[in-house]
Amino acid sequence: MDLGFAGRNVLVTGGASGIGLACARAFAAEGARVVALDLADGPADVPTVRADVTDEPSVVAGVTEAVGRLGGLDVVVGCAGISGPVGTPLVDTLAADIAAVLAVNVTGQLLLAKHTYPHLSTGGAIVLLASDSAFVSAPGMVPYCASKGAVVALTRALAVELERVRVNCVCPSIVDTPMARGDLGDDALDQADFPVQSPADVARQVLFLAASPTVNGQALLADYGYSARSGFPA
Residues with catalytic function: 144
Return the closest-CA partner of residue 169 out of 127, 107, 131, 199. Answer: 127
Buried b (16+ CB within 10 A) or exposed e, 177-199: bebbeebbeeeebeeeeeebbeb
Q: Nearest-CA neighbor of 152 among 140, 136, 139?
A: 136
Q: Are 227 and 177 in contact (CB under 8 A)?
A: no
Residue 185 dihedral angles phi and psi, to the nearest 5° = 95, 150
The number of helix segments (H) and strand segments (E) in the chain equals 8, 7
In DSSP terms, 37 is beta-bridged to 13, 49
Under a CB-based contact definition with an 8 Å cutoff, are residues 127 and 76 in contact? yes
Beta strand ranges found along 65-218 (DSSP E):
73-78, 120-129, 166-172
Give how far Cα 47 sits from Cα of 71, 82, 124, 201, Å.
Answer: 14, 22, 21, 22
Which residues on neighbouring strands pair with residue 170, listed in sequence order?
Answer: 129, 220
